Chain A
């Protein structure tokens, strides 16, 4: 039975993407997943009787269009819904700005606070779109081996020519200018209204351990807007929950005879003289294959599964130096009734909310990370999935899923414990209360997922949802390390396809797609 061409470790979106593509190409593929379900970060759970939630991601920002096309995802039952309102930013009082699918409405919403800003909005989003178009092309590339690039690598990057033709070298210059920026720099150039400025800044800090005053948040903002089709804060919901994406991929892969074993934990990747030849399972079983692809993060792949003594000292050091520092937590609330968000109607609730009164508010929240504390006043984003899909909660009841920054994995002088989690919950509820005054009285159950829980449950090192921070020093040819950014480990026959590779995290499958192409090359 041990005659697989390829073993893929981990059945998250990227692992399944790679499996699907390789299965379609006729390879004998085995996927091993330690959890009892596929999906990884695209999973749902029932956290209280009758209450369901998307464990980590409520929305899908973008999916690699190549993947949609190749696998014909839409026809295979993945239904993505773009809500009318993409996001509502709430201030501390009942002021809010709504970002609509319809740009004219967004402009109206902004105009309530600043006419000048509303007049600049269109220019701003087309500026961001222009820059994102460069990133889109960069994302489809396998990063070159730098600095020794030759003609081959340059030709490999010729797809960059199309955005250059469209926007000129000025476009690249603008990209080089904006990517290293910090949020205040970017918004200073465009807007005056603080609520709007902070709402833009939230995109820069998404899942980062840094605050908006950190250089490089410009890049993170652009990353959120790749394939944004000219919309700021663009999102989609998967009908039936985010996990549908994973299920569709799984069904697809299985239709090409890919074998997917869940509840199967890989405990080591076996190498001999720098050649990878198979894996061992927790039950002692060893499975051989010609090629092994890991969708786990670099820390898990190399230090936990390959083992530090099988790495060269320099590579080991590089792997050790990757920064994770998860500082995002999730809290799911089971609610006895529909929460009343100040100034927002029920119809408007099919969206994602964020509470960010000012850029300084976000920055102050982020200071906590530096000193290993929880933010007293955290930045909170929330979704009420039960208004999108009634299956998420019993009749008349609701679920509110909050994403919280900053709750650092590394706490000083203490460790994650129930009491720390309680404190986190209190801080979050206090914050929510400002915009949902009756929140306290309607909470029936709470499920708190700390970065440590994310590490334990999903194998995310330090609870980082992107398998490594999305910073410029961990971008492209530096992701995960300068010596392994071509989806190949420096160990023969071992490949990487997780979010720790270029172009980083998110439920988009680009990593898995690019990795599959590299696996097929060999």
Chain B
């Protein structure tokens, strides 16, 4: 099933149609597995430049490993409304919705976007394979569910200059394309669809295309993007950006309820800070009755942003004669959070925000301790010894620029 790359690395992993370019650009030759694909961790020897490209210029990411499914047919909207927590009935053609989907106990299976391609055709993107789940719920409905993962290649172009770059290539202007909407256009006669979505919390777009056009589109973007500072960007930089944007990551921040093995590993949308996506007015959807009950009795857990307070943090290091030891990249090791002497939660992702100059993390907390402003203790290892240092619950997104949603006047 692999694309016919000229690159002949001896690997059993999948290579995306962009691999022929990305493999040569990858100066660090650092790769990570993403859904069975080889995906660049960072192209340069450190990821800083790529991170700043996202925030100040434009980062170009190969997001082909995302799972993509097409649902079409007269009952496709009904199926999706059954499946996901958001109200797909009000999703207009050309609109995109971010949504989680749950099992019948209201525990999240995965999260992703639903794009309404036409009245009766949708594309779903997700982190993990979901075909079996979607298909099994489509039984008896007049729909066709198709795995589009290998038939659609995708790039993300994220950052303040992304619109300008696309405008310089696209046959149609993107000026009026609103946040979480999409459009069809062409690049040099190559049809592509562009959605104003992304995983960075910045102005940004995702470009969906036929894999056969992948290299041409890549070359066009790199070429036309040069004056705007387009930068191939790897997953390290993306991780920092998505934490700043307060966006969760499957298998890092939560575990799919289909793979969780034990109950305590599962989370409801409320427990992941996704309560806003649960539309209780909708007739029925998988997990609704359990979620109604949860709403009624309150969720045990909450998902929040945490900021590790600088002064005390710095002091711990100063005490042993060191400069503050900031994490070099975003981390993903579960880290305990305490209230007084009791562990009341754990952070699942964290990073130093180079832009905000704050040490931030995303954390599961028992709801009682999750109020904004709650003061907690964050576990820290300083020179091999565990310390507790002050941390505060803060609002997410940590970083939320105006440009993310605005359109040029």
| A residues apposed to B, CB below 8 Å | 273-274, 303, 307-309, 312-317
* A274 contact set on B, CB distance < 8 A: 284, 289
Is B137 located at the chain interface by the 8 A CB criterion?
yes
In contact, B136 and A317 (Cβ under 8 angstroms): yes
In contact, A309 and B82 (Cβ under 8 angstroms): yes
In contact, A308 and B104 (Cβ under 8 angstroms): no
> Taking each of B104, B141, B283, B286, which has the highest tally of chain A beta carbons within 10 Å of its own beta carbon?
B104
In contact, B82 and A312 (Cβ under 8 angstroms): no
In contact, B286 and A307 (Cβ under 8 angstroms): no
In contact, B140 and A313 (Cβ under 8 angstroms): no
In contact, A308 and B139 (Cβ under 8 angstroms): yes
Is B103 located at the chain interface by the 8 A CB criterion?
yes
Within 8 A of A (CB), among B121-151: 133, 136-137, 139-141
In contact, B284 and A273 (Cβ under 8 angstroms): yes
- State in angstroms the CA–CA spacing of A303 and B139 once bound together: 10
In contact, B286 and A312 (Cβ under 8 angstroms): yes
* A308 contact set on B, CB distance < 8 A: 139-140
A445 → chain B closest CB, angstroms: 41
In contact, B141 and A309 (Cβ under 8 angstroms): yes
- State in angstroms the CA–CA spacing of A315 and B286 once bound together: 12
B260 → chain A closest CB, angstroms: 14
Known: A273-B289, A314-B104, A316-B136. 4 other contacts (CB 8 A): A273-B283, A309-B139, A309-B141, A313-B286
B79 → chain A closest CB, angstroms: 8
* B284 contact set on A, CB distance < 8 A: 273-274
Known contacts A313-B103, A313-B104; is-contact A307 B140 (Cβ 8 Å): yes
Q: Mark B186-203, 1 if CB is under 8 A from A, else 0.
A: 000000000000000000
In contact, B136 and A309 (Cβ under 8 angstroms): no
> Taking each of A274, A303, A309, A314, which has the highest tally of chain B beta carbons within 10 Å of its own beta carbon?
A309
* B139 contact set on A, CB distance < 8 A: 308-309, 316
Within 8 A of A (CB), among B265-300: 283-284, 286, 289
Known contacts A273-B284, A274-B289; is-contact A309 B104 (Cβ 8 Å): no
In contact, B140 and A303 (Cβ under 8 angstroms): yes
* Interface size range of chain B in the complex: 10 to 19
Q: Mark B367-408, 1 if CB is under 8 A from A, else 0.
A: 000000000000000000000000000000000000000000
A274, closest chain B residue (CB):
B289
* A273 contact set on B, CB distance < 8 A: 283-284, 289
- State in angstroms the CA–CA spacing of A315 and B289 once bound together: 15
B130 → chain A closest CB, angstroms: 12
B75, closest chain A residue (CB):
A309
B82, closest chain A residue (CB):
A309
A298 → chain B closest CB, angstroms: 15
* A316 contact set on B, CB distance < 8 A: 136, 139
Within 8 A of A (CB), among B66-118: 78, 82, 103-104
* B141 contact set on A, CB distance < 8 A: 309
In contact, B136 and A313 (Cβ under 8 angstroms): yes
* B136 contact set on A, CB distance < 8 A: 313, 316-317
In the complex, the 8 A-B pairs of residues with the closest C-beta atoms, listed nearest first: A312-B104, A308-B140, A308-B139, A313-B104, A314-B104, A309-B82, A313-B137, A274-B289
- State in angstroms the CA–CA spacing of A190 and B133 once bound together: 51
A314, closest chain B residue (CB):
B104
- State in angstroms the CA–CA spacing of A309 and B136 once bound together: 10
B21 → chain A closest CB, angstroms: 41
* A315 contact set on B, CB distance < 8 A: 104
- Write 6 A-B pairs (CB below 8 A) sorted by A numbering: A273-B284, A274-B284, A308-B139, A309-B82, A312-B286, A313-B133
A255 → chain B closest CB, angstroms: 41
* B283 contact set on A, CB distance < 8 A: 273
> Taking each of B82, B139, B286, which has the highest tally of chain A beta carbons within 10 Å of its own beta carbon?
B139
B265 → chain A closest CB, angstroms: 18
B307 → chain A closest CB, angstroms: 39
* B289 contact set on A, CB distance < 8 A: 273-274
* B82 contact set on A, CB distance < 8 A: 309
Q: Mark B291-321, 1 if CB is under 8 A from A, else 0.
A: 0000000000000000000000000000000
- State in angstroms the CA–CA spacing of A313 and B139 once bound together: 10
- State in angstroms the CA–CA spacing of A316 and B103 once bound together: 13
A277 → chain B closest CB, angstroms: 14
- State in angstroms the CA–CA spacing of A309 and B75 once bound together: 12
- State in angstroms the CA–CA spacing of A317 and B104 once bound together: 12
- State in angstroms the CA–CA spacing of A303 and B141 once bound together: 12
A303, closest chain B residue (CB):
B140
* B286 contact set on A, CB distance < 8 A: 312-313
A317, closest chain B residue (CB):
B136
* B78 contact set on A, CB distance < 8 A: 309
* A312 contact set on B, CB distance < 8 A: 104, 286
A297 → chain B closest CB, angstroms: 17
A304 → chain B closest CB, angstroms: 10
A314 → chain B closest CB, angstroms: 6
Known contacts A273-B284, A274-B289; is-contact A309 B103 (Cβ 8 Å): no
- State in angstroms the CA–CA spacing of A314 and B106 once bound together: 13
> Taking each of B82, B136, B140, which has the highest tally of chain A beta carbons within 10 Å of its own beta carbon?
B140
B290 → chain A closest CB, angstroms: 10
- State in angstroms the CA–CA spacing of A288 and B133 once bound together: 34
- State in angstroms the CA–CA spacing of A274 and B103 once bound together: 16
- State in angstroms the CA–CA spacing of A88 and B393 once bound together: 82
* B104 contact set on A, CB distance < 8 A: 312-315
- State in angstroms the CA–CA spacing of A315 and B137 once bound together: 11
B140, closest chain A residue (CB):
A308
- State in angstroms the CA–CA spacing of A303 and B283 once bound together: 20
B122 → chain A closest CB, angstroms: 17
* B137 contact set on A, CB distance < 8 A: 309, 313
- State in angstroms the CA–CA spacing of A308 and B286 once bound together: 12
- State in angstroms the CA–CA spacing of A274 and B136 once bound together: 19
* A317 contact set on B, CB distance < 8 A: 136
- State in angstroms the CA–CA spacing of A316 and B286 once bound together: 12
- State in angstroms the CA–CA spacing of A307 and B139 once bound together: 10
- State in angstroms the CA–CA spacing of A308 and B139 once bound together: 7
- State in angstroms the CA–CA spacing of A316 and B135 once bound together: 13
A315, closest chain B residue (CB):
B104
- State in angstroms the CA–CA spacing of A273 and B78 once bound together: 15
A269 → chain B closest CB, angstroms: 14
A493 → chain B closest CB, angstroms: 15
- State in angstroms the CA–CA spacing of A312 and B286 once bound together: 7
B393 → chain A closest CB, angstroms: 35
* A314 contact set on B, CB distance < 8 A: 103-104
A494 → chain B closest CB, angstroms: 15
B136, closest chain A residue (CB):
A313
> Taking each of A307, A312, A317, which has the highest tally of chain B beta carbons within 10 Å of its own beta carbon?
A312
A399 → chain B closest CB, angstroms: 42
A312, closest chain B residue (CB):
B104
A302 → chain B closest CB, angstroms: 11
B41 → chain A closest CB, angstroms: 36
- State in angstroms the CA–CA spacing of A520 and B340 once bound together: 54
A488 → chain B closest CB, angstroms: 16
B82 → chain A closest CB, angstroms: 6
B110 → chain A closest CB, angstroms: 14
